[in-house]
Structure 1
């Protein structure tokens, strides 16, 4: 988006430039200036370290490390490039590395930062005052690690990755910094790209809704398995529900129990809402698309010279109903369900 200067006679366009063209460097300029005014890109944040890195076997450093008003650790990465590079992946690694920091360790880190910047402040007292705490509270400290990415621009690949990561519970903010030049002066247009300020509350609510839905699906997902017995002897152990029809048909075939009547019984079964056994020619494209029959494998039942495949569309209720139906027809066949 262009920036304009209003004069008495005209609305004058201000030329956009790049950080490299303007001579601004990441560490010497952007990092040096932003650490004293971090609220520009990360509101309600206190910088506690710069070029931070204390992990073994790595020379990587976090540009700026901070803490926010809710006692969350904040990883801040700066880039002057036009696409942001791979800074989101780098920042996620850093976030994992600092996720185990304690309040006491942060006090030591902040004390080093204050000393390096010739600031005569008590590190612990300053942190407590910033957080509004009367005393330290390790249980409330560092519940989340938030990430702030600030760059001249962000590639579509990067923003897509960030939105996907945010959707799965991370908190990553992308702040775009566009440099402009006017009358020999460098101006910065700084805007939050992710989340968009006007709809940030809405985006947060949508993200939380999706996370709750995923958690609900995960908690309600049935992962039970089955063992199949013939005449009291275990034939199949801990099979998935999707294999219960296939293994049952295999068992009946191996025991020589499939005659014309049994075959018609199996052909007519649709306990799982799909016909239990089908010829490949009967399997629809939709069936194939959603892998309802394993037509990419060898035939699963050959009867009277014809090749058949077994449905694998089993849910908890349909699998249980099927086991009852089979056991009633074949008393020697029994099933045991295992909760996983």
Structure 2
């Protein structure tokens, strides 16, 4: 990272969380409130648990549900030294926790064991105070799964996210092996910086690694033979975003953007953000406020009012048409 001042670039070196006195519990709270740091614009997620105790007295840091109905385990370690000093391997502990969540067969069990106690602990963050924590948990999870068309796929599989300022080679090697054998594990590096008495954190996914040939591939069509769930997840981050859509001219400044199945609307700005009332917000921040989720599939839930299509549909149609044109040109050249 560089600080630019008077056209001169000054390198800003990363620090460690321990050096700036940020504890592991602090990182946990930052991610609990901002889990979109570990997501992207193609994913929705809600946090449903914190420090959940399993039958063996182990505690998982954060628990979530994603837009495909998977239960997601988020395990956090502050710095590499914390990982190395563990009695049990970082990734093995997460696998054990994920295995315990595999025994949850229905939403009611998850709410009773995990989400209800979480809501009770953070009750001030939730509305609908007339409902019990159990009733509110059932309602929120069912609404989330229904909105994401994932009611029938609830907890069919589990995912693991490991987050730390860095990882040792043994952990990365183990995670790469787990991924190659069908276990869905991601590693996110959280890199802290200190600049002008402010703390900045850059989050980057380092595993699984997206390959070069995945850039700008249209992954919306799930009917492509050989396409796997892992392929889709690995490539989400390289799909074109709103700035590219504005550049292509398929959406324009001043277009009205609505929230899917809601009455909320905003005006698209040339920056890719939306103006809602007097506020100018990113699509992700605005949609999080609308739906009350920890992160939202931006392009699947942002609707272009003039066409009635989601940004995801508009993007897919444009990319498909470009692919068709390119194929046509190649065929003509070969002829």
Q: 1:33 aligns with which of 30, 33, 43?
A: 30
Q: Alignment partner of 2:65: what SS?
A: strand
The correspondence of residues 9-158 of structure 1 with structure 2, limited to 5 A, is 9-27=7-25, 29-43=26-40, 44-55=44-55, 58-82=56-80, 84-85=83-84, 86-101=89-104, 102-108=106-112, 109-118=114-123, 119-121=126-128, 122-132=136-146, 137=151, 139-158=152-171
Q: 1:82 deviation in Å? A: 2.0
Change (3 A) 1:21 1:132: same
Tell me if structure 2 keeps the 8 A contact 1:181–1:187: yes
Q: 1:8 deviation in Å? A: 1.5
Tell me if structure 2 keeps the 8 A contact 1:103–1:136: no
The correspondence of residues 262-277 of structure 1 with structure 2, limited to 5 A, is none
Tell me if structure 1 keeps the 8 A contact 2:54–2:100: no
Q: Alignment partner of 2:99: what SS?
A: helix
The correspondence of residues 125-274 of structure 1 with structure 2, limited to 5 A, is 125-132=139-146, 137=151, 139-197=152-210
Change (3 A) 1:6 1:206: farther
| Alignment gaps of 5+ in structure 2 | 129-135, 220-224, 231-335
Change (3 A) 1:134 1:8: closer
CA RMSD between the two structures: 3.0
Structure with max Cα Rg: 1
Superposed CA offset, 1:182-236 (max 9, x none): 111111111000123565959x9999699xxxxxxxxxxxxxxxxxxxxxxxxxx
Superposed CA offset, 1:9-62 (max 9, x none): 4101112110000110111x111121111111134221100000131xx22100
Aligned length: 204
Tell me if structure 2 keeps the 8 A contact 1:69–1:131: yes
Q: Equivalents in 2 of 1:23, 1:96: separation in Å?
A: 33
Give the TM-score normalised by structure 2: 0.55
Change (3 A) 1:46 1:7: same
Bigger relative contact order (CA 8 A; separation at least 6): 2
Tell me if structure 2 keeps the 8 A contact 1:128–1:135: no
Give the TM-score normalised by structure 1: 0.55
Change (3 A) 1:11 1:126: same
Tell me if structure 2 keeps the 8 A contact 1:64–1:75: yes
| Alignment gaps of 5+ in structure 1 | 211-340
Q: Alignment partner of 2:202: what SS?
A: strand
Q: Alignment partner of 1:21: what SS?
A: coil
Change (3 A) 1:199 1:75: farther
